[in-house]
Amino acid sequence: MTINPKVFLVLIIPVAVFASLLYYGIFWNIYIATHDYSPLARGEEFIGAEGFRELFSSVEFREAFKRTLLWSALLVILGNLAGIILAASIFQFSSPRKRNVLTTFFLYPLSLSLVVVGIIWRWLFDQYRGVNILLDNIGLNPSWLEGGNAFWSIVLVSVWIYAGFSAMLYLASFYNVDRSLIESAMVDGAGTITILARVVIPNSIQGFILSTIFLALFAIQMFDLPYAMLYLNPFTETMVMYIFSRFTSLYLYLASAAAIVVIAVSAFIVIPYALYGIRRWILRGAR
């Protein structure tokens, strides 16, 4: 297959522009991370990797780093589990209208601003005016947003937000499963659960990969939700919140160093899948 040179230029120019802006930002960030620079002082001092050494020697950053990775792991596990259950439930309906209505219903939390969601759940988790009014009737009165409970409560809220998105990705994969495989299983007497467990889900690996990547990235970049619910709280501080606190305190080299760590972790997740997709595209084009 040959590509028209004019079409190639039309496509490559915007890609080159956006890539240039992206990498300019990354390299400028590296520059700031290696220089003790402050807008309040004149000049700047080259400090090399000192900012990174200071960063990883900081207990606050290490805790934020571990908390972010834990949040990512929990959101991937619980989000995928909830997504599969929702997608499998919606997939059972033969009516496209019912499927669309249910998909829209579960996607709705994602359409809301995370700040709005955070404020709503902060009210719901209020110990005296939220869901505890109902839980009091059965002898329960958990402190949702106090101490270490705050982290687990916000993780649950993030699963509630992104479960519908995960379900949408799984549904897209379910619809692409070869119908003949499902029909063959039905002829062999397989039930609905068996077909889902042994035919549909195993042939939806693409949905699992995409869901895992997006959920992990959502958790790594999490800022709006915990900030809206508890502001700068040490029990819910993520790497992005650490960057924000250092940036607003004018420790720009620390903020930039932490941003480079976030970029590196995100690239570690995205690049293998990108290479896998490019490899499949090249192999498919070679056939």
Q: Which domain holds residue 203?
A: 64-286
- Give domain status of residue 70, yes or no: yes
Residue 81 has which token pair? 């589990």
Distance CA(222)–CA(238), nearest Å, equals 7
Considering the domain boundaries, does residue 13 fall inside one?
no
Query: Is 52 a member of any domain?
Result: no
Q: What pLDDT score was predicted for residue 286? A: 45
Domain for residue 184, yes or no?
Answer: yes
In a domain, 282, yes or no: yes
Res 284: pLDDT: 54
Ranges of the chain whose pLDDT falls below 70: 1-3, 38-43, 192, 277-278, 280-287
Closest CA to 225 of 165, 158, 149, 143: 158
Look at the alpha carbons of 7, 11, 12, 13 in this order and tell me if their dihedral is positive or negative. Answer: positive
Q: What is the pLDDT of residues 83-116, one digit of tens each?
A: 999 998 888 887 888 888 888 888 888 888 999 9
Instruction: Provide the CATH number for the domain around residue 230.
Output: 1.10.3720.10
233 close to 144: Cβ distance less than 8 angstroms: no
Tally of domains in the chain? 1
What's the token pair of residue 241? 């919140």
187 occurs within a structural domain: yes
Tokens in use for 204? 């939806």
pTM attached to this predicted model? 0.86
24 found inside a domain: no
Domain-located, residue 39: no
Whole-number Å distance between alpha carbons of 125 and 165: 24
pLDDT value of residue 157: 95
Identify the pLDDT of residue 39.
66
Q: How far apart are CA 218 and CA 160, in angstroms?
A: 13
Over residues 50-71, the pLDDT tens digits come to 989 999 999 999 999 999 999 9
